[in-house]
Structure 1
Amino acid sequence: MSAARSQALDSAQADRFRQAMALLQSGAHAPALAIAETLARQAPAAADAWQLLGMCLEGSRRQEEARQAFERALALVPGSAVVSRNYGLFLARHGKALREQGELEAAEPALARAVALAPDLAFAWADLGAVRRLLGAVDGALAAMRRAVDLQRQRGAESVDLEDAINGVLADAGRPAEALAGARALVARHPAHALAHETLGHLLWEHGRELAPGEDPLDAFRAAALAQPDNRTLQLSLARTLLTVRRPAEALPLLQRMRQRDPGDPLLDWFAADALDALAEYAQASTLYASVARSALGGHPEFLNAHARHAFRTRRIELAASCAQKAVEVEPRNQEGWSHLGTAWRLLGDEREHWLCDYDRLVGYVEIVPPRGFASLDAFLAELAPALEALHLAGREPMRQSVRGGTQTTGLLFGRSDPPVRAAEEALRDAAERWLATLSPDPAHPFLSYRRRSVRFAGSWSVRLRSAGRHANHIHPKGWLSSAFYVSLPDSVRAPRAGSREGWIQFGEPLEELGLDLPPRRLVQPKPGHLALFPSYMWHGTVPFDDHQPRLTIAFDMQPKA
């Protein structure tokens, strides 16, 4: 490597450089790092020494020091293709790791710099697109993902997953017709790809009434599965989708055929048990759940939660408690496991239910402060409501959500460019952090033990319920702190008749499908500009309302910042 500002390594140093590279490639990070540190001291003006140090520090997981070393190397040889590419590769790997850790706000600039330094890294463009989508920056996500597809195609590589993701981002961007056309084209070219069929099914489920009237959302999925009986992934995906949309009678024959081909497969037995359970064929379901419980899948939290749900339906509360206890032992932040454990404790008369849920203390209800630039809360809500209304493009509720009789926005709400939405993001974060600051930490508690001074959004959306609409009782499995912010409400909710609870939010009544006769522990009357906050494992839903005016809210999940 040569450049006017960079010192060349002498022959002895060059030998040590090659030795360190060989050690690094063999996984011997510590001795490689020792050599690199010595070279950087001996030749502080040598770009090769600092580049080597950056690679060795990365191998030793000292990422910030590695970044500084690469920066120093690049300063010595500005524009060097070799240093730029190696630094870009480091930043791409670092950004990917940050993304996997949920540190999206740190991942985005790292990945953006990576593709600026090494613009031919398709995987870095793909990761950048994924991070931007998770941050709600849909236009930037589309641009990055399309660049990744172009690079993959130039190399003759398949890009089905990326193209499928692009269709999802188009839906996020409020372009469902383009998303649907893209999804149809993708399954036509790749009929064996299960995720593409899932995306098409979801788009038709939410937008089919307007864009494909009369078409069953799962017709193409069924046809593909029928034509490919040996495509296990496709068959399983269709079966799970059918269970999600509450068509167990259709899912069960499909699963039974698969079980005949692969007898004793615990995954197939589990799905068949779910279908039988939904059909109230409890004896057969119990046998299959018990069989799966003895397999390697028996310790998986998702299975344990399914088994717990079945145990509640069949009134075996001790079994439900046992399954839930195992789920939270395996995964201490498993929100569904905690919801089941709290329900079991309630049914068993165990006081730990009150320790876990404490509906008076752990359900917060606060009025937000008007965001900067708005004279009053009413002025803010008057701008926010139409901005949200414009995002409700679907004809019905999403496939896998709690909404009944309404619509939910696609993708992440926060991160969009709409000024009132950006203002809401800031105001709601501030309100949540202020409320959290009033709680005392408890190292043994699954919610209070993770309390931090600052939090990050893990999901955000808006829901618009029409008359008779409601939220079925549910929890938020991907959250830690969850919420409901009231933007506009019908008169029947704002000024209810005496004794009416129409449109109120309720806490503590379990999922209706569990068949448990348990009333809510607390009900709260919504008010515009007010925010309800609660642990994500807490059962919550809404009472239906009868009014021609819609009920418009924002909801979000949060996670504590490290």
Structure 2
Amino acid sequence: MIPSAAMEQARQAKAAGDLRGAAALYARAAVERPDSTVAEHNLASTLGDLGDFAGAAAASARAIAKGSTAPETWLVHARALQGTGALDAAEAAFLRAIGRRPDYATAHRDLAQLRWMRTADVGAALAAIDSARVPALASVEAVVLLSAGEPARAAAVLDRAIARAPDAALHLLAANARAALGDAAGQLVQATAALRLAPASTDTAKAVVEALLHVGRIAEGAGLAERIAQAAPDDQGVIALLATAWRLLGDPRYTGLCEDPALISTRGIEVPPGWSSLDAFLADLAASLRERHAWRTHPLDQSLRHGSQTQEDLSQVDHPVLRALFAALDAPIRAHLAQLGTGGDPVRRRNTGGYRFAGAWSVLLRPGGYHTDHVHPRGWLSSAFHVDLPETVAQRPQGWLAFGRPGVPTTPALPPTRHVRPVPGQLILFPSYLWHGTEPFSGDAPRLTVAFDLLPG
């Protein structure tokens, strides 16, 4: 069937990042072609991207009612149901997707993550995964185990899978497992094997750099990182590894790349229209965000520990308090861009004076919670906006942001270079390549934040 004009226009709008325009066009296509399961599927997928989970669930249900048996449609339906909070129904829909394609790794991962976040139980998360029978699921099983803090079990799963069918992605996960176990030599073996299988991959090359920094072969790691950066100059993970190597070598280029005071800014927001005070706005924002934190534990393969993270892109959610937040963030973001100015470094050379959001989420950390040190490889600028904080942040460094401590093991180990105390209503902006995390905190109150990544606009 020749695609309708509305379908083609919708595809182009979505590719250009105009999700609302794409959704309207897919809805029109579904009316023009009432028997089209594809139009309903595409509408559901786009509404899900917009955070309209009820609309996505309805559209995907219509696609199924019209005869779609595609596992992809069941996956979209399951994700939409999860977004509405219908978690039992979401589990059932994920299982329907898997029933139609038993090796559907994406559906298995989403189901495992849902069960893990609901229960914090590794056994429950892995209940539908049998990597011994379906080898394609070994990577999903390993990600669950690594996220649950069981690298030894993950390494064993990966060793068996690699013995059956060597694969670069499996070797990359195996390198991560060896790093978590403190086995620097084993990490280098696995990373090197991944690079041999995928020599053109930036990810495999970065894994070798990480392993070289762990075994103490710093100059080699720096040389390889410089070559990767030439090929992928905007990859924030590569910049972070190169900066780490320079710091270990005492190279003065590290100072310019990571210790320029203008790179990190802390600014408050103005009270949004419709609220009498900042405290009143933050209270409403906190209430809205807490409704989205129904999970017992963190998602898979993320930096937070002992807390939860929202699953939708908050910058796309049509909710009054969230719209007010992102409108209020515009002024401090533009002030930061003006503070940076232009130049030849990895941040300033991309500064056009404009920006666009590349994902936004909320994190709720419970007492004892923290973020492991990490970077955002596909970002440009990253952030932390503090909504509600425990009283213990008054005690340095409980719950404070830490900058500069690598999120990969190095020889020797490196401490943070800077701590920043969080303040409610305050936005902190920094380059996405800066290692950052948060320190654990005590007490009995949680730590609630919003974070987002920016790309040049």
TM surpasses 0.5: yes
Q: 1:129 to 1:513 in 2, by over 3 A?
A: farther
Q: Which among 354, 362, 367 is matched to residue 255 of structure 2? A: 354
- Counterparts of residues 19-98 of structure 1 (less than 5 Å): 89-98=4-13
Q: 1:502 to 1:270 in 2, by over 3 A?
A: closer
| Distance in 1 separating the partners of 2:291 and 2:409 | 33
Asked if 1:166 is matched to 2:77, the reply is: yes
| Distance in 2 separating the partners of 1:254 and 1:539 | 30
Q: Counterpart of 2:82 in 1: which secondary structure? A: helix
Question: How many pairs were matched up?
Answer: 457
| Distance in 2 separating the partners of 1:334 and 1:294 | 21
| Distance in 2 separating the partners of 1:477 and 1:421 | 26
8 Å contact from structure 1 (residues 128, 144) kept in 2: yes
- Name the structure 2 match of 1:249: 152
Q: Counterpart of 1:406 in 2: which secondary structure? A: strand
Q: 1:111 offset after TM fit, Å?
A: 3.6
Structure 2 counterpart of 1:172, one-letter code:
G
Q: Which among 220, 223, 237 is matched to residue 128 of structure 2? A: 220
Structure 1 counterpart of 2:62, one-letter code:
R
1:213-234 per-residue CA deviation (whole Å, 9 max, x = no partner) reads 795311321xx323x2xx4422
1:4-39 per-residue CA deviation (whole Å, 9 max, x = no partner) reads xxxxxxxxxxxxxxxxxxxxxxxxxxxxxxxxxxxx
| Distance in 2 separating the partners of 1:142 and 1:329 | 44
Percent identity at matched positions? 35
Q: 1:283 to 1:485 in 2, by over 3 A?
A: closer
Q: 1:385 offset after TM fit, Å?
A: 1.4
Asked if 1:130 is matched to 2:45, the reply is: yes
RCO higher in structure (CA 8 A, sep ≥6): 2
- Name the structure 1 match of 2:435: 539
Q: 1:359 to 1:275 in 2, by over 3 A?
A: same
1:473-500 per-residue CA deviation (whole Å, 9 max, x = no partner) reads 111223222111111111222xx24xx2
Q: 1:300 offset after TM fit, Å?
A: 0.7
Q: Which among 393, 413, 429 is matched to residue 330 of structure 2? A: 429
8 Å contact from structure 1 (residues 336, 475) kept in 2: yes
Q: Which among 289, 292, 296 is matched to residue 191 of structure 2? A: 289
- Counterparts of residues 387-466 of structure 1 (less than 5 Å): 387-442=288-343, 444-466=344-366
Q: 1:265 offset after TM fit, Å?
A: 5.0
Q: 1:396 to 1:268 in 2, by over 3 A?
A: closer
1:284-315 per-residue CA deviation (whole Å, 9 max, x = no partner) reads 443343344344x1231111222222122111
- Name the structure 1 match of 2:109: 198
- Name the structure 2 match of 1:207: 118
Structure 2 counterpart of 1:205, one-letter code:
W
Q: 1:116 to 1:453 in 2, by over 3 A?
A: farther
- Name the structure 1 match of 2:381: 481
Q: 1:469 offset after TM fit, Å?
A: 1.5
**Pairwise CA RMSD of aligned residues?**
2.7
Q: 1:271 offset after TM fit, Å?
A: 4.2
Asked if 1:324 is matched to 2:220, the reply is: no
Range with greater deviation from structure 2 (390-399 or 136-145)? 136-145
Asked if 1:530 is matched to 2:438, the reply is: no
8 Å contact from structure 1 (residues 457, 558) kept in 2: yes
1:121-163 per-residue CA deviation (whole Å, 9 max, x = no partner) reads 443433333333223232333333333444452xxxx321221
Q: 1:393 offset after TM fit, Å?
A: 0.2
- Name the structure 1 match of 2:390: 490
Q: 1:553 offset after TM fit, Å?
A: 1.0
Structure 1 counterpart of 2:104, one-letter code:
H
| Distance in 1 separating the partners of 2:292 and 2:193 | 46
Q: Which among 271, 275, 279 is matched to residue 370 of structure 1? A: 271
Q: 1:184 offset after TM fit, Å?
A: 3.9
